[in-house]
Structure 1
Amino acid sequence: MFIAIADMITLEDKSNFREFHVVVDGDVAAAVAAFGGRASASERENHLWIDIAFVQELAGDTADAEWQAQFDAMLAYANSKGWIDEPANRVEAHIQPLG
């Protein structure tokens, strides 16, 4: 799955739990600004910390029990790699340029 930032923020490819990234036409600062406080820059270049609850909100009606179980498994894997900030409840995602 990935978050696309264009005129609005959307969650795309919602059932793909093997990938997680942000697609934006701009840099980290532009992406952070687009999230309106729901993300922050990571200490790693071209990465963001994104509120996990916001990702769930973006999933909308797709976020049924099965989707949530797979999302939780994805987060567990991310946690094993150090890509979860537990105190802030955020997951790290890399940024891919639009196009």
Structure 2
Amino acid sequence: MFIAIADTITLEDSGNFREFHVAIDGDIAAAVAAFDGRATASKRDNHLWIDIAFVQELAGDAADAADAEWQAQFDGMLAYANSKGWIDEPANRVEAHIQPPG
């Protein structure tokens, strides 16, 4: 799955739990501003810390509590990210790399 930033912010390919990134055209400051407080720049180049609840919000019906399979796979993705140091538990954020759309 990836977050696309264009005119709006959308979650694309929400069933792909093996890839997580942010697709932007522009710089990191513009991307952070587009998230309206739901993301911050990482200390690592070309990465953002993204609010996990916002990712679930973007997933819409797929992340509904009734969809246990989606939630289990999402939780698995987060557990993997945590094992790599890509989760900021106090802030409830996951780190994602930035790549150009396409």
TM-score interval w.r.t. the shorter chain? over 0.9
2:31 corresponds in structure 1 to 31
1:69 aligns with 2:86: no
1:42 corresponds in structure 2 to 42
Separation in 2, partners of 1:67, 1:53? 14
RMSD: 0.6
* Counterpart mapping for 1:58-97 below 5 A: 58-63=58-63, 64-97=67-100
TM-score of the superposition, structure 1-length normalised?
0.98
Separation in 2, partners of 1:30, 1:59? 22
1:51 corresponds in structure 2 to 51
The alpha carbon displacement at 1:62 in A equals: 1.1
Q: What amino acid is the match of 2:100?
A: P
The alpha carbon displacement at 1:23 in A equals: 0.3
The question of whether the paired residues in 2 share the 8 Å contact of 1:27 and 1:46 is answered with: no
The alpha carbon displacement at 1:98 in A equals: 2.5
> Per-residue displacement from partner, 1:8-35 (whole Å, max 9, x unpaired)?
0000000000000000111111110000
Separation in 2, partners of 1:57, 1:9? 11
Unaligned runs of 5+ in 2: none
> Per-residue displacement from partner, 1:30-53 (whole Å, max 9, x unpaired)?
110000000000000000000000
Separation in 1, partners of 2:101, 2:87? 25
Q: How many residues align?
A: 99
Separation in 2, partners of 1:11, 1:78? 18
Show structure 1 runs of 4+ deviating over 2 A. Answer: none
Secondary structure of 2:10's aligned partner: strand
Identical residues among aligned pairs (%): 87
Separation in 1, partners of 2:6, 2:92? 25
